[in-house]
Amino acid sequence: MKILKNSLFVMIAFAMVSCGGAEKSETNTSTDISKAERIYNEAIEIHDEIMPKMGKLGSLQKDLEDLKAVHPEDSVKINEHISKLENASESMMLWMRELKQYPQGGQQQGRDKHSSKADTSYALHAKQKSEIETVQDDMNMAIEEAKVLLEGMQ
């Protein structure tokens, strides 16, 4: 049930973030985009790259739960890997909940907008990019380690 709730939340959050990230002006050239907007867009690109892996996290968790039933003597090791997968998933959801979107046009305030001026928001967006890179690393590592464990125990 927890996985179902998490999956539903992730799908809703993904839709919200994807829609927010799609607000680009076609008239912008790379020289017109501020450093803050550029780094925000880089963070969103990373998010969009790893978001499809959320389903893989859930399926690997299920596979590990099934493996634990077959190999109860290895339940501690298996639980460690399940925890890594859950933590990677939770980190992604937390990042999405706390995302401050780059201010578009004159609409700089609202639930997901921050109120700083575009040129002074670089530090905020650089921090967000660093955080999503950490999420990416954690997610990729958790997936790879779970795959290795599953292959080694089957």
- The pLDDT tens digits of the residues spanning 38-68 come to 999 999 999 999 999 999 999 999 999 999 9
- Tell me the average pLDDT across 105-119: 49
Q: What are the residues whose beta carbons fall under 8 Å from the beta carbon of 24, sequence distance 6 or more?
A: 41
CB–CB of 150/67 below 8 Å?
Answer: yes
**pLDDT number for residue 4:** 45
Confidence of residue 153 (pLDDT cuts 50, 70, 90): confident
Of 5-14, 64-73, 98-107, the range with the lowest mean pLDDT is 5-14
Confidence of residue 29 (pLDDT cuts 50, 70, 90): very low
Q: Enumerate the domain spans of the chain.
A: 2-20+33-102+115-153
Confidence of residue 141 (pLDDT cuts 50, 70, 90): very high
Specify the higher pLDDT residue, 19 or 126: 126
- Tell me the average pLDDT across 88-111: 78
Q: Bridge partners of 104?
A: 107
**pLDDT number for residue 5:** 52
**pLDDT number for residue 118:** 47
Residue 65 to residue 129: CA distance in whole angstroms:
33
Q: Bridge partners of 101?
A: 113
**pLDDT number for residue 114:** 52
The whole-model pTM stands at: 0.71
